[in-house]
Structures are given as C-alpha cells and as structure tokens.
C-alpha cells in the first residue's frame, strides 16, 4: 500500500490524487466516469450532506459532516479534472470564479455600499445577479423582468422557489388561509379525477395538490423539502421500531396480518413519543 501523502489535507494533494485515479494506471471506475455518469453521485452526496446538517449538534454531527463535505468536495474536484482533460477549465478556474462572484455580490463588505440589514443584502444580491445575467445575454432575446427563471432544483424545492418568485410579482394568496383553501380545492379535483378521470388527469391533479402544498408550506414560513425529509425520517424510525418490537416478541413479520401490523405501529408510535 502506498504511503499516504503528509500534505493530504491540501487541495493540491487532492487534485493530484484525483488526476492519478483518472490516469493510465489509475482506477478503472474513475477512468470510466463522465460528467453525465456522475450526475447521480452529485445528487446522492449532496443529499447525504443535507441529512447530516440536520443532525443534532455534537461530535457525531461534526464527524459525519466532515466526511460528507469531503465526499462533495471529491465530486467537485473530479468534475474539474474531467473538464481539464478536455481543456475546458481547471479547479483553479472554478475557485477563481466563485471568489470573484463573492467579491461582486458583497459590495457592502468589499466596496463602499452601505446596508441596514440582511434583507437589504438579499435585495442587493438579487439586483447584482440580475445585472450579471443581463450582461451575459449578448445577442439573445431579452428576458422579461416578469419571467420566473427558476433554476432547476428537486421538484418540491422548485415548487417552493416558483412560489417565492410569484410572490415578488404580486401573484399570490394573501395569507396561509388562502393557500389552505387552494389545497382543499385541489384535493377535491384529485378525488374527482380518481373517481372519473383518466390516468393523465389523475397525474395532473396530483401534481397540482403537491404544488399547492408547497405553497401552503411557504405561507407558513416552512421549507417543504426540509419538512418532507423530516417526515421520511419520522416514518423510517417508526417503521424500524415496529419491526424491532415484532422481532423482540419472536414474531415473523411476514406472517402478521395488517391488523396486527397496525397494532405494532401504534405501539411503536407511543414508545417513540415517550422519548
């Protein structure tokens, strides 16, 4: 086994390691990868990091966060390595680009702009971002200031962002009650589609329900993506506890009736609530 470089913590060492993995005598798996084939790993590693970020504070969170940040960094360096191999850009270019962006978008820190609070910082950021986009659209058709221009994101998060954008454009419900009424309206239309409609109509109405739920979350000042992640964890924890209880009773899970499983579900719920 080769000795681990003493300067492994340095970015230069990481870049050299990734280049070696992609080299003639490198790793077959790494050598086969493309930007496209790595897409799923970028998503997975980012989601694993997000999950750790929501851990309770403590040594375990810090350790896991360090590991997951490293995995995300590896993805960044690997994509930069692929790009450098075809002469597109290098990791140095990536770092320079984000450094320049931070300098431009923080004139209240690196310039003479004065701000009163974080809300003004966000407004300035949006204005600077808008100006940057306009400057790069040379020869292209002008984009309407009322266009949504919401970036590609996971579907639930994008629905939330779309709502934030339409809110700024004064196309929104006045309060959470209005959003709640819309949710109920969409549920009624979904039920009608399930009872009498086609598969396509059911899909469309279910999409409307999910979108309206994201907007209700927004009006309640809650992030729907975060809420669903926590809901997933809650369900998984309760399900695993339910199976654990059945095993402790010497019961074969597969042989249980649905009624018996429901009883274990309720028991698991009560135990976890008592924690």
For the stretch 140-194, pLDDT in tens is 555 566 678 888 888 999 999 999 999 989 999 999 999 999 999 999 999 999 9
Exposed / middle / buried, residue 57 (Cβ in 10 Å: 0-12, 13-18, 19+): exposed
Assess whether the region 11-89 and the region 155-222 belong to the same CATH fold: yes
Please give the structure tokens belonging to residue 72.
């995300």
What pLDDT, on the 0 to 100 scale, is given for residue 1?
46
The torsion angles phi and psi of 258, rounded to 5 degrees, stand at -65, -35
CB 239 within 8 A of CB 61: no
Compute the 3-state secondary structure of the chain and give helix, strand, coil in percent, each to the nearest 5: 70, 0, 30
Contacts 24+ apart (CB under 8 A), 164-172: 164/218, 167/218
Q: Which helix (H) or strand (E) holds 258?
A: helix 258-273
Give the C-alpha separation, 104 to 124, whole Å. Answer: 11
What pLDDT, on the 0 to 100 scale, is given for residue 8?
45
- Measured in whole angstroms, how far is the alpha carbon of residue 217 from the centre of its chain? 16
Beta carbons within 8 Å of 90's beta carbon, 6+ residues apart: 80, 83, 84
What pLDDT, on the 0 to 100 scale, is given for residue 147?
77
Q: Could you give the 3-state DSSP secondary structure of residue 109?
A: helix
List of the chain residues with pLDDT < 70: 1-9, 137-146, 275
Give the C-alpha separation, 169 to 147, whole Å. Answer: 9
Q: Let me know how long the chain is.
A: 275
Exposed / middle / buried, residue 106 (Cβ in 10 Å: 0-12, 13-18, 19+): middle
Provide the residue ranges of all domains of the chain, joining segments of one domain with +. 11-89, 105-131, 155-222, 228-273
Instruction: Please state whether 273 falls in left (phi above 0), alpha (psi between -120 and 50) or beta.
Output: alpha
* Closest alpha carbon to 187 in 158, 216, 160: 216
What pLDDT, on the 0 to 100 scale, is given for residue 142?
57
- Top CATH class of 11-89 equals mainly alpha
Tokens 């899909």 locate to 203
Give the C-alpha separation, 117 to 189, whole Å. Answer: 43
CB 150 within 8 A of CB 162: yes
* Closest alpha carbon to 91 in 103, 76, 71, 107: 76
Fold of 155-222: Helix Hairpins (1.10.287)
């Amino acid at each position: 086994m080769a000795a681990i470089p003493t300067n492994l913590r340095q970015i230069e060492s990481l870049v050299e390691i990734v280049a070696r993995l992609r080299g003639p005598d490198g790793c077959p798996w790494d050598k086969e990868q493309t930007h496209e084939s790595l897409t799923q790993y970028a998503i997975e590693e980012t989601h694993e990091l997000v999950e750790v970020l929501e851990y309770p504070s403590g040594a375990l969170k810090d350790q896991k966060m360090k590991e997951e940040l490293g995995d995300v960094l590896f993805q960044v360096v690997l994509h930069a390595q692929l790009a450098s191999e075809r002469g597109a850009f290098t990791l140095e270019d990536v770092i320079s680009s984000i450094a320049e962006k931070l300098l431009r978008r923080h004139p209240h820190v690196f310039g003479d702009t004065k701000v009163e609070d974080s809300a003004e910082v966000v407004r300035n950021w949006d204005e600077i971002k808008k100006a940057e986009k306009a400057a790069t659209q040379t020869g292209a058709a002008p984009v309407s200031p009322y266009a949504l221009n919401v970036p590609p994101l996971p579907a639930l998060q994008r629905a939330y962002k779309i709502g934030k954008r339409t809110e700024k454009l004064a196309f929104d419900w006045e309060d959470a009650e209005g959003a709640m009424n819309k949710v109920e309206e969409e549920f009624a239309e979904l039920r009608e589609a399930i009872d009498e409609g086609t598969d396509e109509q059911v899909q469309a109405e279910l999409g409307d329900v999910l979108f309206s739920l994201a907007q209700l979350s927004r009006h309640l000042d809650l992030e729907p993506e975060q809420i669903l992640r926590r809901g997933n964890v809650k369900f998984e924890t309760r399900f695993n506890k339910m199976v654990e209880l059945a095993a402790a009773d010497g019961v074969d899970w597969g042989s249980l009736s649905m009624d018996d499983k429901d009883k274990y579900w309720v028991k698991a719920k009560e135990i976890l609530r008592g924690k």
